[in-house]
Amino acid sequence: MEIKTVGVLGCGLMGSGIAQVCAAAGYKTIVREVDETFLNKGLGRIKKFLDEGVAKGKVTAGARDTTLGNMSGSTTFDALKDCDLVIEAIVENLEEKQQTYTALEKIVNDRTIFVSNTSSLCITELAATTTRPDRFGGLHFFNPVPLMKLVEVIRALTTSDETYQTVFAFAESLGKEPITAPDRPGFIVNRLLVPYLLDAIRAYENGLGALEDIDKGMTLGCGYPMGPFTLLDFVGLDTTYYIANIMFEEFREPAYAPPPLLKRMVLAGRLGRKSGRGFYKYEV
């Protein structure tokens, strides 16, 4: 199936990055947010990233203008009526996602493929809330979306071969490197990354070393771009806590159990970069 027009639900950190890469790849891209404030903030983030790319010599002014020209924003579902593919990147809440799919299914045509960028919810369960479980899959991007090459393509139990192949080819057309991941909590990357991050917190709680030394150990000793605490702050402690809980609930293995310190930091509102404080302090 040919994809020409792409809808993106949600213009937060992930949704704005996803909309940007779709528009940059030449797709007519319509991004939908719940209100003008969120929409303008998200569109502003895209423009800022592209402007910085021009200033760094990574993006030409022409490419920036073409990308922005391929994109439009809306607060209505109606604006998505001609989309061949809709990428959902709203809050990680099953009920809200379900309500959004139901609203959208009244607008789009029967052939439209839906994918979710969820990092933790069950794709088969999401697919089952729609009238198109065969035209539903997972497309999991990584933050920062315009810079990270990887995308995980997830098949629900019900995803048709045609949908899977279309979504995989679409991910490649964005200039990304797709991998096929199973519909299991954490898919491939978070299944390995989250226990590592939780382990770093447990080790820190047990007095392994200073935050900075553990981070330096993993960046300079292993060549990781960020140490575990810098990465935890970058991903968001609430996000990590949420994913860990879902993984623990499914597998019941201690490796996925969120450490007490993580829970308390989330309860205290120390969510990482976005809140100005996580393991480190930031200016917001």
Catalytic residues: 119, 140, 152, 190
Taken in order 244, 103, 10, 39, the sign of the CA dihedral is negative
Note whether 59 binds ligand 3HC by CB under 6 A. yes
Nearest to 98 by CA among 136, 131, 126: 126
Query: Quick one: 80 or 123, whose CB is closer to ligand 3HC?
Result: 123
For the purposes of burial, counting CB atoms within 10 Å of the CB of 223, is it exposed (0-12), middle (13-18) or buried (19 or more)?
A: exposed
Residues in contact with ligand 3HC, total (CB under 6 A)?
18
In angstroms, the CA 41 to CA 19 distance is 13
Which window, 54-62, 64-72, 88-96, 258-266, contacts ligand 3HC (CB under 6 A)? 54-62
Q: Which of residues 13-52 bind ligand 3HC (CB under 6 A)?
A: 49, 52
Note whether 175 binds ligand 3HC by CB under 6 A. no
Note whether 98 binds ligand 3HC by CB under 6 A. no
Query: Quick one: 103 or 147, whose CB is closer to ligand 3HC?
Result: 147
Note whether 190 binds ligand 3HC by CB under 6 A. yes
Please report, to the nearest 10 degrees, the dihedral formed by the alpha carbons of residues 32, 184, 195, 14 taken in order: -10
Looking at the DSSP bridge assignments, the partners of residue 142 are none
In angstroms, the CA 263 to CA 269 distance is 10
Which residue of 61, 94, 103, 147 would you call a contact of ligand 3HC, by CB under 6 A?
A: 147
Secondary structure (3-state) at 173 = helix
Which residue of 115, 127, 235, 266 would you call a contact of ligand 3HC, by CB under 6 A?
A: 235
Min. distance of Cβ 207 from ligand 3HC in angstroms?
26
Q: 9 Cβ partners below 8 Å, 6+ apart?
A: 15, 31, 32, 80, 86, 87, 88, 89, 90, 100, 104
Please report, as ranges, the residues that interact with ligand 3HC according to CB under 6 A: 49, 52-53, 56, 58-59, 119, 142-144, 147-148, 190, 225-226, 231, 235, 239
